[in-house]
Every structure is written in C-alpha cells, then in structure tokens.
Amino acid sequence: MRINNLRNRFLTVGQAKVATSAHEGFELGYYRPGIDEVIVSRAHQLIYAKEVCLEMANKGYQQPARRKDVKVFGQEGLGIVYVGADAMHAGKYISDHDKLISEKLGFVLCGGDLSSPTEVSEQYLLDMERKAFLELCAEKKTLERLQSLLQTGKILRN
C-alpha cells in the first residue's frame, strides 16, 4: 500500500463514509471489482448467498492461508495520521472522541509504532484491531455511540 492509499483509506474509515449505492461502495473501496457481487433484490440475496456457499463447499473450498506480507508504514504513516487528526480536530470537523478513534484506527492501519515500513502478518493486524476496539469499548462515549446505533440506527457524534 502506498502512503496516498493509506491516507485515503484512513479518511474513508475515519470519517465513517457510508456508501449510498453499490456503485459508490466500489468507489470507496468497500467492494472489490471482479470479486464482490451486488444483488439488488433483497428477496434474492439470501437465496443467492446460500447457493454460492453450497457451490463453494461442493468444489472443496478451503480457507486461504492468512497473509504474512501486509505492508505497513509504522511511524512514517503515524505522522500522517496524527497530523490529519489534529488538523480535523483543530478545524472543528471532529470531536475529541472522534480524534481518539481516528488515532487508534491509524495506529492499527500503520501497524503500530514500528520504526520503518515493514511487512506484518494478517494476524498481527487482527490482534491490534481487537486491542484497539476493546480499549475504545472501555470509553463511555464509545458505549453511548454503540447504544445509539443499535437503538436508532444513527451514528451519535459525541
């Protein structure tokens, strides 16, 4: 991943950009062209998903081996993350809690406080993500956001 890709992905996820259509989902990088499919009819989604799963099982699907070659930027990327979060906070585009979330997100995307760009395993990043999520769950404002999302379906900006 190049530094510009890191910045773009960080902004997309950090600003909680929501795709308003399948086409926009591809543009935001939530879907992968040639890999992900979009079924518009809600009535057919579950039926189609089941058919695809059964077909994969019948063909002997095996879960791919977890990657061990995910490039992360470490401190180089963290600089971009922290400057960006500070700028958005100073400009009143994000709250204190948004800034905290952004910094934790960036820390995971950069692979942590590594001294130089390096390759890490998928499991390393999953472990970092879990740790960051659990740390955020210990925050009252995170719990308020989760509760709002579950009860109203809307994101609380606190």
Residue 157 located in a structural domain: no
Residue 76 located in a structural domain: yes
155/16 Cα distance (integer angstroms):
9
Residue 100 located in a structural domain: yes
pTM for the structure as a whole: 0.77
Residue 158 located in a structural domain: no
Ramachandran area for residue 123 (φ above 0: left; ψ -120 to 50: alpha; else beta): alpha
pLDDT at 139: 97
Q: Spell out, as residue ranges, where the chain has pLDDT lower than 70.
A: 1, 14-16
Residue 105 located in a structural domain: yes
Residue 94, classified by CB atoms within 10 Å of its CB into exposed (0-12), middle (13-18) or buried (19+), is buried
39/34 Cα distance (integer angstroms):
14
Range of the domain at 41: 3-152
pLDDT tens-digit profile of 105-133? Answer: 999 999 999 999 999 999 999 999 999 99
Look at residues 158, 28, 30, 149 and name the one whose alpha carbon lies nearest to residue 99: 158
Which helix or strand (DSSP H or E) is residue 71 part of? strand 70-72
Residue 54 located in a structural domain: yes
pLDDT at 150: 93
| The total number of structural domains that make up the chain | 1
pLDDT at 115: 95
pLDDT at 16: 67
Which helix or strand (DSSP H or E) is residue 46 part of? helix 42-58
Geometric angle at alpha carbon 19, from 77 and 11, rounded to 5°: 15
